[in-house]
Amino acid sequence: MISLDDEEDLFPGRPIGSIEPEARARRKVSLRPLFMGLLVLVLGGGLGAGAYWLSNTDTRDIIGLLDVGDQPRLALQMPGRGDAPPPATPAPGNGGLLTPPGGGLPSLTPPPPAAAGGEAAGVAPMPVTPPLKPEPLPQAATPEPPAAVAAEAPPPAMPVQPAPRNAELAPTYASLPTRLTDPKPLAPAPLEPLLRQSATGLLPVVARDGRQPWKTYARPFDAPAGKPRLAVVVAGLGLDKDATEAAITKLPAEVTLAFSPYAGALDKWIKKARDMGHEVMVMLPAEPVGFPASDPGPWGLLVGNPPEENIARLEQVLGRGPGAVGVLVPDGAFARSAKLAPVLMALKERGLMFVGEGAKVEVDVPAAAVTATLGIDLFRDAIQARLDGAARAAKDSGSGLVVVSPRPVAFDRLVGWLDKLGDQGIVLAPATGVAKQTGKS
């Protein structure tokens, strides 16, 4: 507050006491802007909170909140009984089955009997109609069972489902049975008179005295008269040690073994096979179906190569397999082309035999056609079907040849099948025992 002395000093010339009311008027604060600001803050905060809640709330929840009062009505509106309260005592005879909603569960017990006076609680009893008994429907005459059938036949039994194959029982090379007969080694091979030095090494040739490698290195075989012969050739050996050992030591000696030219220590494998009584062949890599996705390798014979290049690759392969009786050519584009003829001529000049399929042999070279092939993607039943088909073909034509891939499942089915081959009147022969020379020179 301003005193009178101060007033005189601060405002000279003005009446004393006139300043304080004006100062007080100036010091009054208006609360309206403050209230307006608070109102804006409250409204703004409320709207922001509402917007935040709406943005984070599922639309279905909002619809549910808006439709709270619109609930489905499951009450059965009966005429005259819609919302009326249930009667104290249900009408006799209906059992309470038409009790409106809210009247409790219908009673399934019959009404109590009437009193001795004939009335119960003042209500006259209604006559009870006995339930109608349905008349029996006429039935067709049942045929009498045969006199031979004394009792009712049992229902047919469900077929036995095959149990899933246990992976632990899958055939392996070690699980194959051991050969019972003692091996009789073949004569040492190769022989010097049947070899000739070339730029690629020693190659087989016909000896000066006329001996041919395919007969000299063959396993001795006496063909029984009048009996069909069937040969088995295991292809692609030498790359897998376990498969090669199993083929040499556990398959019958009459089985011919064909080795891959890309196998390491091929001369040792061939010697071991001949010591166990097997005659051997060498695989001739040739252009297969699907070339170039499936490549036969650097020594592969191709349809697009000139004959000289294919003959040079043939000599590379023959130099890898000393003591072989011939070559096995897999089926494919090359085996079905005209480029095979020069290769057959080279084999004839060197005294070797040819085993293959899909080609017409037009050269007078000892050859054997393939009757069946057991690939690497066959199952037991498929292998058995192929073997049985080859046996039937051998009976029809007098001879046949089966090519088998070195797989445990193929060896497992082959061993059991060979044990029963004699029961069918078929003789197991080496590949040279089914070779024929029916081509044109």
What is residue 235's predicted lDDT score, i.e. its pLDDT? 97
The pLDDT tens digits along the chain (441 residues) read: 555 555 555 555 555 555 555 555 555 667 788 788 888 888 887 888 877 777 776 666 666 655 544 455 544 444 554 444 555 454 444 444 444 444 444 444 455 554 444 444 444 555 555 555 556 555 555 555 555 544 555 666 666 555 545 545 788 999 999 887 778 999 999 999 999 999 888 999 999 999 999 999 999 998 788 899 999 999 999 999 999 999 999 999 999 999 999 999 999 999 999 999 999 999 999 999 888 888 999 999 999 999 999 999 999 999 999 899 999 999 899 998 999 999 999 999 999 999 997 545 678 899 999 999 998 767 888 999 999 999 999 999 999 999 999 999 999 999 999 999 999 999 999 999 999 875 544
Angle at CA 269, nearest 5°, toward 407 and 421?
A: 45
Beta bridge partners of 231: 401, 429
Please state whether beta strands 195-198 and 201-204 pair in parallel, antiparallel, or not at all (unpaired): antiparallel
pTM (2 d.p.): 0.63
What is residue 157's predicted lDDT score, i.e. its pLDDT? 63
Query: How far, CA to CA in Å, does 79 sit from each of 74, 131, 143, 324?
Result: 16, 27, 55, 105
DSSP state, residue 154: P
**Rounded-to-integer distance, Cα 423 and Cα 184, Å:** 24
What is residue 147's predicted lDDT score, i.e. its pLDDT? 54
Q: Which two tokens stand for residue 105?
A: 């569960």
Task: Residue 216: count other Cβ atoms within 10 Å of its Cβ.
Answer: 19
What is residue 105's predicted lDDT score, i.e. its pLDDT? 47
What is residue 100's predicted lDDT score, i.e. its pLDDT? 47
Contact 350, 195 (CB under 8 A): no
What is residue 99's predicted lDDT score, i.e. its pLDDT? 47
Task: Residue 371: count other Cβ atoms within 10 Å of its Cβ.
Answer: 22
What is residue 126's predicted lDDT score, i.e. its pLDDT? 57
What is residue 225's predicted lDDT score, i.e. its pLDDT? 84
What is residue 329's predicted lDDT score, i.e. its pLDDT? 94
Going along the chain from its start, the domains and CATH numbers come out as 194-434 (3.20.20.370)
What is residue 130's predicted lDDT score, i.e. its pLDDT? 59
* Strand, coil or helix: 410: helix
**Rounded-to-integer distance, Cα 258 and Cα 278, Å:** 10
Radius of gyration of the chain (CA): 53
What is residue 9's predicted lDDT score, i.e. its pLDDT? 55
Q: Which two tokens stand for residue 351?
A: 């005294």
DSSP string over 186-227:
PPPS--GGGEEEETTEEEE---TT---HHHHSSPP--PPTT-
Contact 265, 196 (CB under 8 A): no
